[in-house]
């Protein structure tokens, strides 16, 4: 039987600090975001003089450095060791309601109040009492703020608190990767939250190369990563909307792949392999969120592709293609076994178009060697993995 010592000995040890490639890691410096950091600092700097910070809204696409920049500024505030300043970061995927946000603020700085079950009115009064004790300046960073279910109520409550406070203030830094998000707020919330706005632009290939080079120096043993591998990961991520998180993920997975194979270097081939794995992960996440009948259609195609007794298929360059009519028959069989009526052929064709747009299936028209004119379908990803994902996440098997 394997032992942990054997597993550890088998690893080549390419990493010195793998955490440095995590999207949650905040480095000592954030290259290419100096101007954004300066603007965030300028918005919150008044708290150092006992004054209210400006409410600030940061937005931009995923992987543009918004969260890291906000966390960086909070760390700088904490380093001031000012007892009257209380800065708090929270992810609104977890704290997704006004009640949870207020409870988190209070219990973080007032642990004795950790009990649940208080009414909102009691929480609000407790917040006011705590801020007024010694005139605290509170800065709350709400990451993925668009996930808060009753956001307008939350924004109104936190901004109204300043009218009810005799001493101290509460300020908000909202972060969202939905560039049109603020349009969903009512006019009152929009005007109070967006006193200052800052848009984070995507990184270009040169900037991503610099970021990966700096993180790579922290994450890997010296000399492990080839410069061409870093350049390739940066170029791939630049083509995917300049997403630094994706670039870091590619380099992380490339390192893990190299380590698992007992190699001492990370090369271009490892980055290419990690790209394929990352694309598959993204695809499988998409599959788990599809409408039910699109999932069942994919499942039917996957069962055909893993059915060794099924012979009536077309092979093209090693790819296996299946007749559209027979895929529909398998889909209808699957739905009936689950006690669900199959959708009509018209809906079936619409589902295929949507799945093709997502890159989950490919469709081609039959050519020579096939009688008649028909549509041939193939899966975009390995059939066994697609089947496993749907059976686990969708069918609960």
Give residue-wise pLDDT tens across range 20-41: 999 889 999 999 999 999 999 9
Cα(338)–Cα(16) distance, rounded to whole angstroms?
A: 50
For residue 89, list its beta bridge partners: 141
CA-to-CA distance for 368 and 270, rounded, in angstroms?
Answer: 39
Q: Which residues pair with 361 in a beta bridge?
A: 379
pTM above 0.85, yes or no: no
Whether 324 contacts 251, CB under 8 Å:
no
Name the fold adopted by 4-18+212-281: Helicase, Ruva Protein; domain 3 (1.10.8)
Tell whether the model's pLDDT for residue 160 goes beyond 80: yes
Name the pLDDT band for 320 (thresholds 50, 70, 90): confident
CA distance 202 to 63: 8
All CATH 3.40.50.300 domain ranges in the chain, comma separated: 34-200
Q: Helix, strand or coil for residue 195?
A: coil
Give me the residues paired with residue 323 across strands.
376
pLDDT of residue 10: 57
Contacts of 54 (CB under 8 A, 6+ apart): 43, 44, 46, 171, 195, 196
Give residue 95's pLDDT. Answer: 93
Domain covering 290-394 in this structure, CATH number: 1.10.10.10
Residue 174 has phi, psi (to 5 degrees) of: -95, 140
CATH 1.10.10.10 positions along the chain are 290-394
pLDDT, one tens digit per residue, over 199-255 is 999 999 999 999 999 999 999 999 999 999 999 999 999 988 889 999 999 999 999
Using the predicted structure, report yes or no on whether residue 362 has a pLDDT greater than 70: yes
CATH 1.10.8.60 domain residues, the chain:
4-18+212-281
At residue 317, the pLDDT reads: 58
Say if residue 345's pLDDT is above 70: yes
Q: What is the DSSP string of 112-132?
A: GG--S---HHHHHHHHHHHHH
What value does the CA radius of gyration of the chain take, rounded to a whole number of Å?
26
Q: Is the dihedral of CA 297, 300, 305, 306 positive or negative?
A: positive
Distance CA 70, CA 40 (A): 8
pLDDT attached to residue 8: 57
Average pLDDT of every residue of the chain = 87
User: What's the CATH fold of domain 34-200?
Assistant: Rossmann fold (3.40.50)
Which range has the top average pLDDT, 193-197, 260-264, 293-297? 293-297
Q: Which of 214, 272, 256 is nearest to 13 (CA)?
A: 256
**Nearest residue to 40 via CA among 69, 82, 67:** 69
**Does the structure show a pLDDT above 90 at 191?**
no
């Amino acid at each position: 039987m394997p032992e942990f010592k054997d597993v550890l000995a088998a690893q080549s040890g390419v990493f010195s600090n793998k955490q440095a490639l995590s999207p949650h890691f905040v480095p000592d410096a954030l290259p290419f975001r100096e101007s954004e950091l300066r603007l965030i600092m300028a918005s919150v700097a008044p708290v150092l003089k006992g004054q209210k910070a400006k409410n600030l809204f940061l937005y931009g696409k995923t992987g543009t450095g918004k969260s890291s920049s906000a966390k960086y500024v909070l760390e700088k505030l904490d380093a001031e060791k000012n007892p009257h300043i209380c800065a708090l970061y929270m992810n609104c995927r977890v704290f997704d309601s006004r009640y949870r946000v207020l409870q988190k603020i209070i219990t973080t700085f007032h642990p004795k109040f950790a009990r649940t079950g208080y009414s909102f009115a009691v929480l609000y009064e407790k917040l006011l009492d705590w801020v007024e004790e010694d005139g605290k300046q509170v800065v709350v960073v709400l990451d993925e703020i668009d996930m808060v279910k009753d956001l307008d109520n939350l924004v109104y409550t936190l901004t109204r608190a300043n009218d009810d406070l005799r001493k101290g203030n509460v300020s908000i830094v909202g972060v969202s990767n939905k560039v049109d998000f603020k349009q969903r707020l009512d006019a009152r919330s929009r005007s109070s939250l967006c006193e200052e706005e800052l848009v984070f632009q995507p990184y270009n290939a040169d900037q991503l190369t610099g970021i990966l080079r700096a993180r790579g120096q922290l994450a890997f043993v010296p000399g492990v990563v080839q410069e061409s591998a870093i350049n390739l990961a940066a170029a791939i991520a630049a083509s995917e909307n300049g997403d630094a998180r994706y670039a870091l993920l590619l380099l992380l997975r490339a390192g893990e792949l190299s380590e698992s194979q007992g190699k001492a270097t990370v090369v271009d081939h490892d980055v290419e392999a990690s790209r394929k794995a990352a694309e598959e992960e993204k695809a499988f996440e998409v599959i788990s969120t599809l409408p039910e009948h699109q999932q069942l259609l994919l499942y039917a195609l996957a069962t055909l592709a893993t059915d060794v007794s099924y012979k009536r298929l077309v092979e093209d360059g090693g790819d296996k293609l299946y007749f559209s009519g027979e895929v529909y028959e398998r889909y209808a069989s699957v739905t009936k076994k689950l006690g669900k009526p199959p959708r009509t052929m018209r809906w079936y064709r619409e589902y295929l178009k949507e799945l093709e747009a997502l890159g989950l299936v490919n469709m081609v028209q039959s050519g020579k060697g096939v009688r008649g004119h028909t549509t041939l379908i193939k899966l975009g990803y390995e059939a066994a993995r697609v089947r496993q994902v749907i059976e686990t996440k969708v069918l609960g098997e």
